Amino acid sequence: MDYYSSQISRLIEELAKLPGVGAKSAQRLAFHIINQPLEDVKRLSDAILEAKKNVRYCSQCCTLTDEELCPICRNPKRDQSTIMVVENSRDLAAYEKTAKFEGVYHVLQGAISPMLGIGPNDIRLKELMTRLQGDIKEVIIATNSSLEGETTAMYISKLIKPTGIKVSRIASGVPVGGDLEYIDEVTLLRALEGRVEL
């Protein structure tokens, strides 16, 4: 039995497809949107469409941006010789909130996961190896403490070690199975400061 008209039901269905949004949250969001002034809803829909059209990968670090280079890669004050490797742009943002890391990032856009059919060629490793041909002193591997994150860290370490570039891994303090985006700044900072060479 349908409780709502077809357009309301469709809006709820589409919102429920978003990650972390269940049926009840989708319903709340749908009614919130419907009750908003038309100008507010138009701004929201325009922001979604513009982001979808214009957001792409930074040509250097592979994070999401709407320009050729992201603000971090463009910043001349950042230490270009130290690269922190993270799984996604949310992890980059988590480290940026500590305001202590002065290097640059490389975003893999995933992690190696044989169970999910994701291999080394499916993430941004080739781009990382290209960057390492420059004047790089250290690569800090800050992948998640999950099985996939650890597998990715070990794979990257084995790729980089023969180049002579220092490779380190963020220290413990980040719980096993935890995602970096949900961890507080103090824990992230301690993990960064306590990193160990691989």
For 77, the token pair is 């004050």
Establish if 167 belongs to a structural domain. yes
φ, ψ (nearest 5 deg) of residue 173: 120, -25
pLDDT score at 176: 61
Into how many domains does the chain fold?
2
Of 113, 108, 153, nearest to 128 by C-alpha is 108
Low-confidence ranges of the chain (pLDDT < 50): 1
pLDDT score at 186: 62
Query: What Rg, from alpha-carbon coordinates, does the chain have?
Result: 20
Helix (H) or strand (E) holding 169: strand 166-169
pLDDT score at 190: 65
pLDDT score at 5: 81
Helix (H), strand (E) counts: the chain: 8, 7
pLDDT tens per residue across span 78-134: 999 999 999 999 999 999 998 889 999 999 999 999 888 999 999 999 999 999 998
pLDDT score at 24: 94
pLDDT score at 1: 39
* Three-class SS state of 47: helix
Q: Please indicate, yes or no, whether residues 36 and 104 belong to a single structural domain of this protein.
A: no
Q: Please indicate, yes or no, whether residues 164 and 86 belong to a single structural domain of this protein.
A: yes
The pTM assigned to this predicted structure is: 0.77
Q: In this structure, what CATH number is given to the domain that contains residue 181?
A: 3.40.1360.10
